């Protein structure tokens, strides 16, 4: 399937979804009670959805740039924003597409001091984010920032300023977490053995548990947890870490990295199961980002991608087009003409084309456990 066909396929999928809705509406029109139900489901659909996101560069909509005054130069943003927004991509991130699906504004970073808009929530994700407390904006700090935000919102509410998110808004908001990738990659780049990397996983999970617990104890009831992607397939990982004796899987990815990600993901899934029974009246949804991203690589030609392990923007050419300190955004790097043919934008982050597919798969609920649609979870109950 080429890119155009893939896009059409995406549209066909949307049509299918619309037809499903139409069918549901028709079935509901049978009794008066069901007409009322229909009315209420419409009003619910109109009410606002609020999202608080925690994570790393995979979902950073400008936090790193705002927080550190870091200028991410062109060609980032060339496809969609036509300016640099601090997003590590040629266009939108998966979280931007989720916002489109949820019919809310693109998320302002918590650290953005110039005209942020927090009406629909806050993005605490920062590039380099990890559970490791020694990074600049660890998960624990992002959670404290959220608590600060909530306190300030309450203080400002009587004056009619601030985000104006009310108590019910905080309770009904979706809290999403996309973290862990940097913890695992840092362990490998510290030259730990595979066994030593695996030994670090319980402490990574325990810090994620602390974060989820804190959000729950502060009134959050809808937690949306992403697992981590196949980091052994990143052009950066392959270019810098592949050795002659490295184990390579059938897709050309570093097996140890992907195996470590799978061990982490299995632990994260059981953590979500555990918390689903421990947290009363809460919903914790686990979404399999690994499967979503791995599908793009393994089945790349179906999606119109040519070289799934090569960065669009970088230096050095095939097989990975990645050279340390000559990465995308630096004058020594150059971009490919068509990002839509690549999964990887800069060797670490995805192209907008890949991000759009990732978001469609997230929104489908097919990769989630329990299978709850993000669009039905993210609704004000008022």
Ligand X SMILES: *[C@@H]1O[C@H](CO)[C@@H](O)[C@H](O)[C@H]1NC(C)=O
Active site residues: 57, 346, 349
| CA angle (115, 121, 127) in 5-degree steps | 75
Candidates 90-98, 147-155, 208-216, 371-379: pick the segment binding ligand X (CB under 6 A): 147-155
Of 23, 147, 156, 164, which lies in the binding site for ligand X, with binding defined by CB under 6 A? 147
Give the residue among 100, 138, 97, 77 at the shortest CA–CA distance from 346: 77
The binder of ligand X chosen from 144, 156, 164, 248 (CB under 6 A)? 144
What sign does the dihedral 313-314-315-321 (CA atoms) show? negative
The verdict on 281 binding ligand X (CB under 6 A) reads yes
Among 151, 203, 206, 301, contact with ligand X (rule: CB under 6 A) = 151
| Shortest Å distance, C-beta 128 to ligand X | 16
By CB under 6 A, name the one of 19, 34, 47, 117 that touches ligand X: 117
- Give the tokens for residue 317: 């050419």
Helix (H) and strand (E) counts in the chain: 13, 6
Q: Whose Cβ is closer to ligand X: residue 31's or residue 243's?
A: 243
Q: Edge-to-edge strands of the sheet including 283-287?
A: 121-123, 51-55, 174-178, 222-226, 283-287, 368-369
- Taking CB under 6 A as the binding criterion, the range among 39-47, 292-300, 314-322, 334-342 that sits at the site for ligand X is 292-300
Q: Contacting ligand X (CB under 6 A), which of 113, 134, 191, 195?
A: 191
Q: Of 27-35, 125-133, 146-154, 164-172, which segment contacts ligand X by CB under 6 A?
A: 146-154
- The gap from C-alpha 239 to its chain's centroid, in whole angstroms, comes to 24
Only one of the segments 39-47, 51-59, 290-298, 351-359 lies at the binding site for ligand X (rule: CB under 6 A); that segment is 290-298
Spatial contact of 94 and 359, defined as CB atoms under 8 Å apart: yes
CB of 299 to ligand X, least distance (A): 4
The verdict on 244 binding ligand X (CB under 6 A) reads yes
Distance (Å, whole) CA 240 – CA 24: 52
Range 241-250, long-range pairs (CB < 8 A, 24+ positions): 241/188, 241/189
**Inter-CA distances, 310 with 18, 339, 367, Å:** 36, 11, 26
| Closer by beta carbon to ligand X, 4 or else 144 | 144
| Residue 295 engages ligand X in binding (rule: CB under 6 A) | yes
Using rule CB under 6 A, residue 190 touches ligand X:
yes
- How far is 186 from 141, CA to CA, in rounded Å? 19
Residue number with CB closer to ligand X (218 or 375): 218
Helix (H, G, I), strand (E, B) or coil at 94: helix
Residue of 31, 114, 159, 243 that binds ligand X (CB under 6 A): 243
CB of 78 or CB of 255, closer to ligand X: 255
Positions that interact with ligand X (CB under 6 A): 105, 117, 119, 144, 147-148, 151, 190-191, 243-244, 280-281, 294-295, 298-299
């Amino acid at each position: 399937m080429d890119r155009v066909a893939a896009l059409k396929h995406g549209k066909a999928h949307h049509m299918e979804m619309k037809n499903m809705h139409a069918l549901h509406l028709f079935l509901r029109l049978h009794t008066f009670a069901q007409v009322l139900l229909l009315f209420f489901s419409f009003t619910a659909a109109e009410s606002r959805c609020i999202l608080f996101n925690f994570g790393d560069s995979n979902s950073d909509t400008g936090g790193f740039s705002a927080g550190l005054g870091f200028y991410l130069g062109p060609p980032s943003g060339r496809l969609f924003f036509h300016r640099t927004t601090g997003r590590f991509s040629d266009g939108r991130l998966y979280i931007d597409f989720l916002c489109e699906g949820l019919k809310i504004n693109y998320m302002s970073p918590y650290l953005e001091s110039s005209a942020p808009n927090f009406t629909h929530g806050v993005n605490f994700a920062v590039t380099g984010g990890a559970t490791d407390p020694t990074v600049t904006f660890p998960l624990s700090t992002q959670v404290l920032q959220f608590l600060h935000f909530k306190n300030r919102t309450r203080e400002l509410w009587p004056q009619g300023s601030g985000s104006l998110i009310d108590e019910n808004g905080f309770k009904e908001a979706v809290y999403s977490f996309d973290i862990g990738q940097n913890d695992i990659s840092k362990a490998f780049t510290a030259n730990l053995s595979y066994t030593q990397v695996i030994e670090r996983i319980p402490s990574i999970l325990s810090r994620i548990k602390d974060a989820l617990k804190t959000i729950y104890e502060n009134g959050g009831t809808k937690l949306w947890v992403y697992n981590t992607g196949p980091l052994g397939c990143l052009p950066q990982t392959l270019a810098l870490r592949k050795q002659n004796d490295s184990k390579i899987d059938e897709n050309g990815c570093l097996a140890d990295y992907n195996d470590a990600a799978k061990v982490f993901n299995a632990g994260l899934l059981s953590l979500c199961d555990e918390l689903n029974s421990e947290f009363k009246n809460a919903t914790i949804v686990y979404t399999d980002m690994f499967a979503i991203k791995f599908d793009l690589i393994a089945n790349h030609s179906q999606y119109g991608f040519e070289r799934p392990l090569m960065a669009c923007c970088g230096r050095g050419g095939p097989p990975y087009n990645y050279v340390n300190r000559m990465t995308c955004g630096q004058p020594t790097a150059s971009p490919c003409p068509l990002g839509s043919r690549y999964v990887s934008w800069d060797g670490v982050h995805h192209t907008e084309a890949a991000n759009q597919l990732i978001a469609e798969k997230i929104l489908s609920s097919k990769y989630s456990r329990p299978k709850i649609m993000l669009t039905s979870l993210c609704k004000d109950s008022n």
